[in-house]
C-alpha cells in the first residue's frame, strides 16, 4: 500500500511542484488619456486649468468701455466665429499641459478643453498621425449643456485652428496667475 500510494502521489507532486506559483493577474489600469470625446466631456477630470479663470476670447470687444453695438457684435462674429462674445475657461490634461508649457508639439492623447459660461464644452483631442493632416491630427468636439455632442474633423473648428499651425493648432498663451 505504501508503494502504491507513493506511485499515485508522485505524479501529483510533480505536477504541483512544477506548476507556476499562483500570481494574481496584473491589474490593468485605466489609461489616463481620454479615448473618446464623450469620455472627456463626461469626466472633465483630471484636467489642469491653464487659463486664469474665465477669460475673454475676443480681446477687442471685451476691452471696450461701452457695450458693443449689434453691428460690432455681428462684425466680430463674422471675423472670430462662435467665440466673439464669450468667456471660456481653458483646461488641459497632463500630456497637453506639459506640451503647452515647453511649447512643443502635442502628443497623441493630449486634450484641450474650453468650458463656456453657458455650460457648453468644446475642445480637441490629439490623435495618431494620419488622423487628419489638414487639422493637425486633432479630433474636435463640442457639447452643449443639453448634451448634444459633435465630434470629429469639424470644419467649423478646423477652419479657425489652421491659422495656428505654428503652435500645433492650439490658440492662446493663457498666462495663468498674471
Domains of the chain by start residue, with CATH: 37-55+87-167 (3.30.1120)
Single pTM value for the model: 0.67
The tens place of each residue's pLDDT in the chain, 178 residues long, gives 444 544 444 444 333 343 434 433 333 333 455 578 888 877 776 788 888 888 777 666 654 544 567 787 778 777 776 666 678 888 999 999 999 999 999 999 999 998 888 788 889 999 999 999 989 999 999 888 777 888 999 888 888 888 888 889 987 766 554 4
- H or E, element range at 37: helix 37-43
Q: Tell me the HSE value of 109 on the side-chain side, using a 13 A CA sphere.
A: 8
Amino acid at each position: 500500500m505504501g508503494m502504491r500510494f507513493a506511485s499515485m502521489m508522485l505524479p501529483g507532486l510533480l505536477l504541483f511542484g512544477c506548476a507556476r506559483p499562483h500570481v494574481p493577474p496584473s491589474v490593468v489600469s485605466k489609461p489616463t488619456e481620454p479615448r473618446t470625446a464623450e469620455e472627456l466631456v463626461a469626466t472633465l477630470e483630471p484636467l489642469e486649468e491653464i487659463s486664469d479663470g474665465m477669460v475673454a476670447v475676443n480681446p477687442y470687444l471685451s476691452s471696450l468701455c461701452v457695450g458693443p453695438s449689434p453691428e460690432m457684435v455681428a462684425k466680430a462674429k463674422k471675423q472670430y466665429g462662435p467665440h466673439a462674445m464669450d468667456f471660456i475657461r481653458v483646461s488641459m490634461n497632463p500630456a497637453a499641459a506639459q506640451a503647452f508649457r515647453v511649447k512643443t508639439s502635442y502628443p497623441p492623447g493630449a486634450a484641450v478643453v474650453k468650458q463656456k459660461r453657458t455650460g457648453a464644452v468644446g475642445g480637441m483631442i490629439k490623435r495618431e498621425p494620419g488622423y487628419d493632416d489638414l487639422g493637425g491630427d486633432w479630433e474636435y468636439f463640442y457639447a452643449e449643456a443639453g448634451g448634444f455632442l459633435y465630434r470629429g474633423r469639424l470644419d467649423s473648428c478646423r477652419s479657425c485652428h489652421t491659422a495656428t499651425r505654428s503652435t500645433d493648432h492650439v490658440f492662446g498663451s493663457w498666462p495663468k496667475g498674471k
